[in-house]
Structure 1
């Protein structure tokens, strides 16, 4: 198996022995790549994790309220049905 610590050590050795110009080019490339990715993600109209969590909580409360209202409607329908049956002439 490959030892991750050994790979990291080799990568550091290679990096430290690179000419400064190559290091600058790599840093510039990394910065521009990050910026391009951030710009594209911003264009994709994603919601933040915080907004997602808030909306999830709103949905949970809405579902709970719906269940309560459904139970109330069922109870009222049952009462209405019972009242109609008791009002019918025999």
Structure 2
């Protein structure tokens, strides 16, 4: 999660404080920010854009793998036919 989003989220959390705690807003907002940063860094998150790129790459790789498996099977059947063996 980028720094701007953390700042926005910390600000929203501080803005949602009950009226009695508004005098502590600055301090609590800083605590929210620190807590968000510390916990989000542990999660090893990726951006949606990066995830989508990797998902597309995986889909293309799976398609290529399926095509290669099909070609190998056809070659094995052709080889077995030339050798007079039943196909596997």
TM-score by length of 1: 0.61
Higher relative contact order (CA 8 A, sep 6+): 2
Shift of 1:34: 2.7
Shift of 1:58: 1.0
Q: Which has the larger radius of gyration?
A: 1
Shift of 1:44: 3.1
Aligned-partner Cα distance in 1 for 2:49–2:27: 32
Matched residue, 2:76 = 77
User: Aligned-residue CA RMSD in angstroms?
Assistant: 2.3
What SS class does the counterpart of residue 29 from structure 1 fall into?
helix
1:52 aligns with 2:51: yes
Aligned-partner Cα distance in 2 for 1:30–1:61: 44
Shift of 1:53: 1.4
Aligned-partner Cα distance in 2 for 1:45–1:85: 55
TM-score by length of 2: 0.62
Matched residue, 1:68 = 67
Task: Deviation per CA, 1:2-52: give whole Å up to 9, x if none.
Answer: xxxxxxxxxxxx73xx5xxx4230342033213321232123322222221
